[in-house]
Structure 1
Amino acid sequence: MIEIKDIHKSFGDNEVLKGISGKFEAGVTNLIIGGSGSGKTTLLKCMIGLHQPEEGSVEYDSREFTTMNFEEKIEIRKEIGMLFQGSALFDSMTVEENIMFPLNMFTEQSRKEKLERVNFCLERVNLEGKNKLFPAELSGGMKKRVGIARAIAMNPKYLFVDEPNSGLDPKTSIVIDELIKELTEEYNTTTIVVTHDMNSVMGIGDYILFLHEGKKFWEGSNKEIAHTDVQELNDFVFASRFMKAAKGKF
């Protein structure tokens, strides 16, 4: 479980996060949603230590992350997998080398052990035998799956996913969503997905934290979201669906 308590973050005079709290349980798909400028990406970066909040705390299974020193944070980061927006694969590396990268950095495994882990991860994301391809030879959906394979290479307790369906067609987006949910449940991972995709929200949103103008406006499940009377959330849901429908016409 990851718990955030009263997170505040500012950049100059701009207060981006205004006291955000929430609990993200293991084995379920946790989503952070909100419009552009709502603070969701900043919150994600505070949770993984790329930003230091001015106030509040981030706890990984009751371990207070924000007050740790550099070496202590490295130990937590070894337990974290991260799928960046756009997959962030190394263009000059093969699929195999990309997935092996965190194993080379954080483990003392033999080459044989690392290759076995790479092949296992490729099998889990249905990309067996694609070891020697380069990112330029992959489709957008395949790149996302390689990104997921790299993210789970270290068998993480915590998985962070930033806009996994950005740039993907609806059919491929569903495949990626279902893969994330399947891996979360199978390995009892604490998974946090930042997204504005309402199909993801309704499809895999076991727990949803909705941000608006740097504040938490609502939390609940995808089964509850349709019945909310929070106007800001209803406006976000309607706008998201309208924009998706409009894109489909052109």
Structure 2
Amino acid sequence: MIEVKNIHKSFGSNHVLTGIDAVFEPGKVSLIIGGSGSGKSTLLKCIVGLHEPTQGKVYFDGDEFTKMSFEEKVPIRKEIGMLFQNSALFDSMTVEQNIVFSLDMFTEMSRKEKVERANFCLERVNLAGKNDLFPSELSGGMKKRVGIARAISMNPKYLFCDEPNSGLDPATSILIDELIQDLTEEFKCTTVVVTHDMNSVMGIGEYILFLFKGQKYWEGSNQDMLKSDNKELNDFVFASPLMKAARDTIKQ
């Protein structure tokens, strides 16, 4: 479980986050949503330690992450899997080498064990046998799946995904969502996803945190969202005629 308490983040005079509280539970896909500039990516970076909060605390399973030294944070960071928006694969490395990279850095596994782990992760993302391909030989969706394979290579307790469906077609986006949901259930991860994809919100939004102008304006499940009278939430989620029509149909 991850808890954030009263998180503030400022860059000079620019106050990006103001008093954010949230609880992200294990075995559940949690989404952080909001418009551009709402602070969702900044919040994610504060949680994983890429940004230091100006004020507030972050807890991983009851341990206060924000007060730890760099050395004290290392064991928790080893349990974090991260999927970046652009997949962040090393272009000069093969698929297998990209996945094994974290294992080389943080484990004492033998070469055989690392390859076996890479093969297992590739099978889980339906890319078995693609070990020797380079990122330039992969489609956008395949790159995201390799990024997920690398993220789960260390068998993480905590999985973070930043805009996992960015740049993907709708069908591939659904596959990525289903994969994230399946892996969350399989590994009992505490999964946090930053997204603006409303299909993801409706498909896998077990817990949704909605940010507006750097503040928490609403939280709940995707089913709760359909019944919400929060104006800012409704203006954001149901901005498109198709989403509005879907909500109205469900409410009837």
Same-fold call, TM > 0.5?
Answer: yes
Shift of 1:207: 0.2
Return the letter of the residue paired with 2:11.
Answer: F
Secondary structure in structure 2 of the residue aligned to 1:53? coil
State the 1:139 CA deviation.
0.4
Give the equivalent residue in structure 2 for 1:34: 34
**1:82 aligns to what?**
82
Q: Which residue of 2 aligns with 1:248?
A: none
Match of 1:215 in 2: 215
Alpha-carbon distance, 1:242 to partner: 5.3
Q: For residues 133-163 of structure 1, give each alpha carbon's deviation from its aligned partner in whole angstroms, at most 9, with x where no partner exists.
A: 0000000000000000000000000000000
**Residue in structure 2 matched with residue 6 of structure 1 by the alignment:** 6
Q: Distance in 2 between matches of 1:178 and 1:223?
A: 18
Q: What SS does structure 2 have at the residue aligned with 1:224? A: helix
- Equivalent residue for 1:192? 192
Question: 1:216-231 residue pairs with structure 2 within 5 A?
Answer: 216-231=216-231
Letter in 1 for 2:156: P
Q: Structure 2: any 5+ residue segments left out of the alignment?
A: 245-252
Deviation string 1:62-93 (CA, Å, 9 cap, x unpaired) is 01000000001111100000000010100000
Tell me the equivalent position of 1:115: 115
CA spacing shift, 1:122–1:223, aligned 2, 3 Å: same
Once the two structures are superposed, what CA deviation does each residue of 1:218-241 show, in whole Å capped at 9, x if it has no partner? 0000111111111000010123x3
Q: RMSD of the alignment, in Å?
A: 1.2
Confirm whether residue 52 of structure 1 aligns to residue 52 of structure 2. Answer: yes
| Distance in structure 1 (CA, Å) of the matches to 2:242 and 2:98 | 34
Report the residue type matching 2:134 in the other structure.
F
SS in 2 for 1:216: strand
Q: Once the 2 structures are TM-superposed, how far is the Cα of residue 244 of structure 1 from its aligned partner?
A: 9.2
Alpha-carbon distance in 1 for matches of 2:86, 2:174: 17
Q: Where do residues 33-182 of structure 1 align in structure 2 (5 Å cutoff)?
A: 33-182=33-182
**Percent of paired sites with the same residue:** 73
Q: Aligned in 2, Cα 1:30/1:184: closer, same or farther, shift over 3 Å?
A: same
Deviation readout 1:78-113 (Å, 9 max, x if unpaired): 000000001010000000000001000100110000
Runs of 4+ in 1 over 2 A off after TM superposition: 241-245
Work out the CA distance in 2 between the residues paired with 1:74 and 1:236: 38
- Name the CA distance, whole Å, in 1 between partners of 2:19 and 2:215: 7
Query: What is the alpha-carbon distance in structure 1 between the residues aligned to residue 242 and residue 145 of structure 2?
Result: 26
Report the 3-state secondary structure (helix = DSSP H, G, I; strand = E; otherwise coil) of the residue aligned with 1:183.
Answer: helix
Which whole-Å CA distance do the structure 2 matches of 1:115 and 1:100 have between them?
A: 7
Letter in 1 for 2:102: P
SS of 1:31's equivalent? strand
1:243 Cα deviation after fit? 9.7
The residue matched to 1:109 in structure 2 has which SS?
coil
The amino acid across from 2:162 in the alignment is: D
TM-score normalised to structure 1 length: 0.96
* Paired residues, number: 244
**CA–CA distance in 2 between the matches of 1:36 and 1:244?**
19
Structure 2 counterpart of 1:202: 202
Kept after mapping to 1: 8 A contact 2:237/2:243: no
Query: What is the distance in 2 between the residues matched to 1:238 and 1:207?
Result: 18
Please say if residues 27 and 184 of structure 2, whose CA atoms lie closer than 8 Å, have aligned partners that are also in contact. yes
2:238 alignment partner, SS class: helix
Deviation at 1:4, TM superposition (A): 0.3
SS in structure 1 at match of 2:210? strand
Q: Distance in 2 between matches of 1:187 and 1:123?
A: 15
